[in-house]
A and B are shown apart, each in its own frame.
Chain A
Amino acid sequence: MVILDLKLNNVLGFKDIHFNFTYPKKLRKNSLGEECLKGVPNFRYKKVNVVMGSNSNGKSSLGKTIWGLCLFFRKKESNNLIKLMSDGSDSMNISIDYVCASETQKYILNRVAIRVKKDENLTTGYSIKMDYDCVTLRGDDTYETACKNLVRKIYNLDYLDCLNAISHSDGWFIAMPITETGFDKFELELEKPNRELFSNILFKVLNTLDPNIQSSTVSNEIDDAYIIKFDDGKNTIVKSGDRITDIRYLSSGTKYGFIIATVIYSIGKQHNGLFYIDELFSYVDSDIEIAILNLMISLLGDCEQLFFSTHNSEVLLLPYPLHSFMFLGKEKVDDQIKIKTICASDVEKRNNVVVKNLYDNDYFDISPDSSRIFEIEELFDNGEQ
């Protein structure tokens, strides 16, 4: 699954925001290789999206929104959608364009619009109306030409009828910090032959994070369990379903190695299609984060897409196309503070500039206001301690 366009209003922290994950013309040089669908060379999409922004600026909310939508499409349960609603007194609107591969290996561009409103007369307390259209892509299509064949209707479909019609064959992988509800868990159930591969990946990740880790082996006695051995003879067993925070002997960053290895495995096996990796590397060395990011990119397959949110501005030194860097910030409009999005390629057309230099000078106007921090000193100076 590849997301091409996303419009959100009254969704978590987002008010009237528009994300676009396509780019207008082929680049002469692109270090990410071909960023298009296989066999549809002009259908250009942003395969890699590095998402940056200060705290509370929507990085995790974007991941949760995508996750909630995927769950809603797959499970057809309205609560996955309703919990994304921010202000109950207003309607929530979502519009998404995405591509997925059909069973006949053709690509289908889908456009789904959803409107959720409070309605006390319904048992769920909410009315959900949807509109849906799709088109099979031709070999010479661009996103723009394919969109012309989509006819937007008004919200006239019941959501279950609409969801039954939607093509949504692909999976997704959302990884969030373990402080997020439900994410403090190592979860990977594999067939026996695949456990060896995962164990190898796990060892390479853990050993990079902590060279004292000597090996990772598949447990013969417990399903989906891995024995981690240290050079001083200690060992710990970790099995699918275990809480990450409960893993013994590992440092905070090394514990994240279990999630990181799971992500790498999933991308490498091309199980999911859409990956949202949200600030998973806050406890991990910058060089290791950058190495793993580039490995993930190399492993990404056709009709797949990676979102990678981080606070590490060193990532901005990487020679990706400008359209790969997306920033989230806040702006004051009519007395309201809103989240805004800006892509590096929106404001800078030269592709040979280092985005880090622009970021350091707050070219994207997303720098946090740290003046409150410095005011704390004044509290002590004023004798309020």
Chain B
Amino acid sequence: MIAQSFDYESPGTIAEAISLLQKYGDEAKILSGGHSLIPMMKLRFARPGYVIDINNIPGLSYIKEEDGYLKIGALTRESEIEHSGLLKSKYPIFGDVSKLIADPSVRNMGTIGGNLAHGDAANDHPAAMLALRAEIVATGEGDQQRVIPIDEFFQGFFATALKPDEILTEIRIPIPPEGSGGAYHKLERKVGDYATAGVAVQLMLDYGVCTYIGIGLTNVSALPLRASRSEEILLGKTLTDDLINESAQYASEDCSPSTDLRGSEEYKRAMVKELLIRMVHRAMDRAVAE
């Protein structure tokens, strides 16, 4: 398994990287963690003429709270997310997600930016980002930054709202108010597998009433999916078992999984339902514990 030959560039600034993207156009691929790209290249499913390695651009790896946002640099490794004290204490949903991505060695390379920019509905961060209503910061020519709401980011099969000469540089999440909690889980055939189905839930409780809700689904539709009807029915209500059930039922109806080695469409719909119920409960527990 050997990749086809390519030219390698390792820019030291974003501006340099952007100009290389402009120069090489379709023939270029950005290398971040590389654990989606490199296997594809080894199998010769991907044959870029130019690989632009952004790992030597400083200042793209951080986890911080600033200006009312949790900000995560695009080159932040999954392992850094998994072990971050800030995320562990205030955003446990990130730990849920990271721990289930591939394995520890892959997580030492894999980046959150790459996980999102790959535009793969089977990846795990997209669902959580939908639940958290994240914003994607894209940097283009002249260091121009553009903020893309997560709901507009995923556009098609392995396609995102990033322009050919833009690089995903940051993820921003509005800091959830007190009383918030989130959770993610996926069913997998074995550890490190892509999801059979995954559900991310972020919510806020105010004296038992749900004042914020975000629900994202993994690998049960062509794009990472927001379970809108499931959110609507919960918002502003006291979360009873019946209500949660109904919400879960909506999600199982609104997703569009396909039958494959991981199970039938029907199974996946049922799993979305079950996981949604479990994740709402786990998020509620965490919201109360906050």
Say if A and B assemble together.
no
Q: Which residues of A contact B (CB under 8 A)?
A: none
Q: Which residues of B contact A (CB under 8 A)?
A: none
